[in-house]
Amino acid sequence: MARVCEVCNKSTQMGNAVEIRGKRKYLGGVGTKLTGISRRKFKPNLQRVKVTTPNGTNKTMRVCVACIRSGAIKKAVRAKPFAVPGHGKAKAK
């Protein structure tokens, strides 16, 4: 279960690391040259987050940032929000 999002199952992907040398033509150079291609890993941005599950319990999960931003999970409330006494209620005269 390493490097996998527990919500969307996003995991490590393979890609190319492209090595380029030279100055671009529009910057006054003679153009860029490709000097090497090697394999590399693209790892998901996983964060350990306390999540409120649908049945109301809190659980720690490894979730990618895309799922956190999109609202796919609901973060657990760490402390009950502060409430001003008597605020929001009609005062009796």
Give 5-16 pLDDT, tens digit per residue. 999 999 999 999
Q: What is the fold of 13-70?
A: Ribosomal Protein L24e; Chain: T; (2.30.170)
> Where does residue 88 rank: exposed (0-12), middle (13-18), buried (19+ CB within 10 A)?
exposed
Give 14-55 pLDDT, tens digit per residue. 999 999 999 999 999 999 999 999 999 999 999 999 999 989
% the chain with pLDDT above 70: 92
pLDDT of residue 89: 63
Residue 77: alpha-carbon gap to chain centroid: 19
pLDDT at residue 90 above 90? no
Residue 53 CB partners (closer than 8 Å, separation 6+): 59
The full set of domain ranges for the chain reads: 13-70
pLDDT of residue 5: 96
